[in-house]
Amino acid sequence: MKHMTARTLFDKIWDRHVVCTGPEGSSILYIDLHLVHEVTSPQAFEGLRQANRKVRRTDLTFATLDHNIPTTGDRRLLEDALARTQVEALRKNCRDFGVPLFDLDAPEQGIVHVIGPELGLTQPGATIVCGDSHTSTHGAFGALAFGIGTSEVEHVLATQCLVQKKPKSMLVRFSGLMGAGVTAKDLILALIAQIGIDGATGHVIEYAGEAIRALSMEARMTVCNMSIEGGARAGMIAPDQTTFDYLKGRRFAPQGYAWEKAQQQWSTLKSDAGAKFDSTVEINAAQIAPFVTWGTNPGMAAPVTGEVPDPDQGANASERNGMARALEYMGLSAHTRIEDISVDRVFIGSCTNARLEDIRSAARVVKGYRISNSVQGMIVPGSQQVKREAEKEGLHRIFTDAGFEWRESGCSMCLGMNADRLKPGERCASTSNRNFEGRQGVGGRTHLVSPAMAAAAAVAGRFVDVRKWHYKD
C-alpha cells in the first residue's frame, strides 16, 4: 500500500497494527508482545476463568515476578503472606494458561522493563503492552509501548488486541549535546519540568535530535521510561545502528537471514520528512544541568545549581497550593539551595536506572570513596543478568567496599511494595521515577536524580554537582 502523505513513526506502527476499525471511531489494534507481572494480573486471569476464556497467544505473552518480591536473603521463602499469595497466583495462572514465567530463581528474572529489552523480546516496530505505566520504556527501540490497566490486560490475554482511540503525536527535539556529567535522566527531568506532568497527556512522544541520537540504548530507555511522568501515552525513538547493535544476537531477536530482513524493515521506521505532529517542543540539551526534584511530583525539579522555589511564584492559586503542600511534605523551605539538602538514604535501582550502564556510572563515582556515615545506600540491579554482568566487572565490590548494600533484582524501593521502604521523614536520593507522597514508604521524602548524582549524594551526604566530581579512577 502506498501512502501519499508523510507519516510519523507513530503513524507507521499504528497503521500496521490496525486489525480493523472498532466501534464508534476506535481501532482494534494487534499487540505483538504482552508482558505480565504479579501485581496487576491476578484479577485478569480470574476474569478469563470466570468467562471460560483462554490466553489467545501464549507465544506472545511473557511473565515475570518483580514488584513485590524481596531483594535480600533466600527469596524463595517470601515471608510476606500477601506477597506470597500473589506470587503463587501468578505461578498457578502461568501454569493453567500456558504462559512462560521467569520465576524468582530463573536466570532471566528481573524488572519487566529491563528483561524485555535484554532478552531481545522488545523489537522495533512492535506494539508492546504491560499492566504497568512504565511500559513506555520499550519505545526506546522504536516500538509503540504503553501501560494498561488490569481490564485491558484481560482483554489482551483473551484477544491479543486492544480497542483504542488513536492518541495525538508530539515531537520533542533535543538539539545540541549534553555536557559531561549530564545524563538521560537529566534530559527527561528537564523536559517534564518544562512541559509539566500533564504536558503530554493524550500524546505519543517521539524523541529526536542530536542529543537523542548520541544516547546509548540504555540511556534511551531512561528517557522513554519517564514519558508517562509527563503524562504521555508512550514515548519512542526511531531505531538506528545503535538499536541494531544492541539487539543483535539477543535470545529472542531474529537470527541469520531473518535478522537481515528484519533490520532492513526496521530501517524504514522513522518519521517521513514533512510529517505533521500535533505539537512540538524544542530543548537545547547543551544547556541542561543535572536535575534534582524538590517536590512531590516529577515536574517539581530544579537544576542542582538552583534552589527550592518559593510557592508565591506559582502561576495561579492551585499551583501555589500544590507547591506549598509539597514543601510541607518534603520538609523543605523556599530558597534552600539544592546543594544544601542532605540525604539519609540512597536508592540506585528501578526500571528507570538499574541497567548495567547506570550501575557503571554510579560505580565510577563511588570508586575509592566511602559513603557518608549518615547515609544508608542500596544498589538494586534491574535484573539477574545486570547483576551477573556487574559482578563480572567487579562493580559490586566497589559498592560494598564503599558501604553500599548490593541486592537481588526487583522493583524494590521504587514503589516499596516489599520490605525496602523509607521510614517516615527519611530523605532519599533515588534513581527511580516517582517522588509522589509516600511512594517509597509512608512519610518518606524522595528526590529523583541520575545514578551518578545519587552516588555522589551518598558519598557527600548531600546533593552535589557531579560535574565537579573528583573521580579516583
Partner 1 sequence: MQSFTVHTGIVASLPRDNVDTDQIIPKQFLKRIERTGYGNVLFFDWRYDKEGRPDATFPLNAPQYRGATILLAGKNFGCGSSREHAVWALRDYGFRAIIAPSFADIFANNCVKNGVLTVALRPSEIAQLLARDAAGLYRLKIDLEQRQVSWNGGFQAHFDIDPFSRSLLLEGLDEIGTTLKREAEIEKYEQRRQAGL
Q: Under the rule (CB under 8 A), what is the footprint of partner 1?
A: 19-20, 22-26, 28, 30, 39-40, 42-43, 46, 51, 53, 67-68, 80, 82-83, 85-86, 89, 131-133, 147-152, 154-155, 158-161, 163, 165, 167, 197-198, 201-202, 228, 231, 233, 261, 297, 318-319, 321-322, 325, 415-417, 434, 436-439, 442
CB of residue 108 vs partner 1: minimum separation in angstroms?
Answer: 23
**Residue closer to partner 1, measured from CB, 107 or 149:** 149
Q: CA–CA separation, 82 vs 90, rounded Å?
A: 13
Q: State CA 73 to chain mean position distance.
A: 26
**Residue closer to partner 1, measured from CB, 30 or 246:** 30
**Residue closer to partner 1, measured from CB, 408 or 420:** 420
Q: Does residue 446 contact residue 429 with C-beta atoms inside 8 Å? A: no
CB of residue 214 vs partner 1: minimum separation in angstroms?
Answer: 30
**Residue closer to partner 1, measured from CB, 54 or 76:** 54
Q: Does residue 418 contact residue 410 with C-beta atoms inside 8 Å? A: yes
CB of residue 417 vs partner 1: minimum separation in angstroms?
Answer: 5
Per-residue buried b or exposed e for 431-451, using 16+ beta carbons within 10 Å of the residue's own CB:
bbbbbebbbbbeebbbbbbbb
**Residue closer to partner 1, measured from CB, 265 or 280:** 265
Cα torsion 462, 305, 298, 333: sign: positive
Q: Does residue 35 contact residue 122 with C-beta atoms inside 8 Å? A: no
Q: CA–CA separation, 218 vs 381, rounded Å?
A: 13
Q: Does residue 189 contact residue 225 with C-beta atoms inside 8 Å? A: no
Per-residue buried b or exposed e for 295-316, using 16+ beta carbons within 10 Å of the residue's own CB:
bbbbbbbbbbeebbbebeeeee
CB of residue 433 vs partner 1: minimum separation in angstroms?
Answer: 9
Helix axes 42-50, 81-97, angle to 10 degrees: 50
CB of residue 340 vs partner 1: minimum separation in angstroms?
Answer: 26
Q: CA–CA separation, 228 vs 146, rounded Å?
A: 9
**Residue closer to partner 1, measured from CB, 38 or 218:** 38
Q: CA–CA separation, 303 vs 234, rounded Å?
A: 25
CB of residue 48 vs partner 1: minimum separation in angstroms?
Answer: 9
CB of residue 119 vs partner 1: minimum separation in angstroms?
Answer: 21
**Residue closer to partner 1, measured from CB, 24 or 105:** 24
Q: Spell out the alpha helix ranges (H) of 37-149.
A: 42-50, 81-97, 112-118
Mapped onto helix, strand or coil, the DSSP state of residue 448 is strand
466, amino acid identity: V
**Residue closer to partner 1, measured from CB, 93 or 450:** 93
**Residue closer to partner 1, measured from CB, 85 or 280:** 85
CB of residue 125 vs partner 1: minimum separation in angstroms?
Answer: 11
**Residue closer to partner 1, measured from CB, 47 or 403:** 47
Supply the Cα-derived Rg of the chain in whole angstroms: 22
CB of residue 329 vs partner 1: minimum separation in angstroms?
Answer: 11
Q: State CA 139 to chain mean position distance.
A: 10
DSSP 468: G
CB of residue 332 vs partner 1: minimum separation in angstroms?
Answer: 18
Q: Does residue 165 contact residue 274 with C-beta atoms inside 8 Å? A: no
CB of residue 208 vs partner 1: minimum separation in angstroms?
Answer: 22
**Residue closer to partner 1, measured from CB, 151 or 241:** 151
Q: Spell out the alpha helix ranges (H) of 278-394.
A: 317-330, 356-366, 384-392
For residue 7, is it left (φ>0), alpha (ψ between -120 and 50) or beta?
A: beta
Q: Which residue has the cell 508492546?
A: 128
